[in-house]
Amino acid sequence: MVRSIKTLPSTFGTTLVAFCAALSAALVAHVAIDVVGDYVLARDAYDGMAHASRTLVAGGAMALLMCALGLSLHGALAEARGNEGRFCRALATALPRSRVTFAAVVTAGTFVILGAMGGLDTVLAAAPVDDISALFGGSLTLAAGLGSLAGLLAAALVWHAIGRLGRMVHRLARAILHFVRFAAPPRLHASRAHGVRSSLALALIVRPDLAGRAPPRLRPFSTR
């Protein structure tokens, strides 16, 4: 149970990275369908309407990317406790493992988001929807081709960036840990009572079985 709670931020960060890649791919595919459809389609369903969904998707992609980076770094720093090796291992858990699975998830998410973008633009423009192809620019074939290409390209670019991050993770960990130590407020000189309390707290962490015991009896000492 404790292990699953610790890995939850990293798993959530991986999901956000995939969703951010799908958002970016859907945005590119939406623009590509709009441009190519003007030349190859008899009726481009994207014509004559505003595309407010593009701004929403672009902002969402940036927000999710920042959130994914923040969660991954926060979880890695919490696990590392100042150790570079633990930081690298914790950061590696926030990255996808399978290239095929990652590409499939990003491509599938691209089509879902692409349809949602078309639906949002259609609702805002109060345009009629004759069939489902109207949500994808007027041609499912064109949307499938450009959407797959954009999804696979986004997955490949993100995977390449992840590979470069994996190769420089040790240097990144060293830089981040140095920054955290530099930015942390300096410790004040602890008083004797504070030192005793810290020692007792450390003892209870190392030996939690001592927490329920009563303090030992002290022998009265002689003043002779």
pLDDT digits (tens, 9 = 90+) for 183-221: 555 543 444 444 444 444 444 444 445 445 544 554 544
The full length of the chain comes to 224
Domain carrying residue 141: 2-183
Is residue 66, in this structure, part of any structural domain at all?
yes
146: exposed, middle or buried (C-beta count within 10 Å: 0-12, 13-18, 19+)?
Answer: buried
* Per-residue confidence (pLDDT) for residue 201, from 0 to 100: 47
The total number of structural domains in the chain stands at 1
In a domain, 80, yes or no: yes
Asked if the structure places residue 202 within a domain, the reply is no
Whether 63 is covered by a domain: the verdict is yes
> What is the model's pLDDT at position 154?
93
pLDDT, one tens digit per residue, over 70-85 is 776 666 666 666 565 6
DSSP string, the chain: -HHHHHHHHHHHHHHHHHHHHHHHHHHHHHHHHHHHHHHH-SS-TTTTS--HHHHHHHHHHHHHHHHHHHHHHHHHHHHHTT-HHHHHHHHHTTS---HHHHHHHHHHHHHHHHHHHHHHHHHHHT----SGGGGGTT-HHHHHHHHHHHHHHHHHHHHHHHHHHHHTHHHHHHHHHHHHHHHSPPPPPPPHHHHHHHHHHHHHHH-GGGTTSPPPPPPPPP--
> What CA–CA distance (Å, rounded) separates 222 from 214?
24
Calpha distance 80→74 (Å, rounded): 10
- In a domain, residue 191? The reply is no
Is 207 inside a domain boundary? Answer: no
10-30: pLDDT as tens digits: 566 677 788 888 999 999 999
* Residues 6+ positions from 84 with CB-CB distance below 8 Å: 170, 173, 174, 177
Is position 133 within any domain?
yes
For the chain, the straight-line distance linking the first and the last C-alpha, in angstroms and rounded, comes to 57
Both tokens of 171, joined, read 């240097």
**Both tokens assigned to 1:** 């149970």
In this predicted structure, the answer to whether residue 36 has a pLDDT above a threshold of 70 is yes
Residue 178 in any domain: the answer is yes
Whether the per-residue pLDDT at 140 is higher than 70: the answer is yes
Specify the pTM. 0.64
Q: Tell me the pLDDT tens digit for each residue of 84-123.
A: 566 666 666 666 777 888 899 999 999 999 988 888 888 8
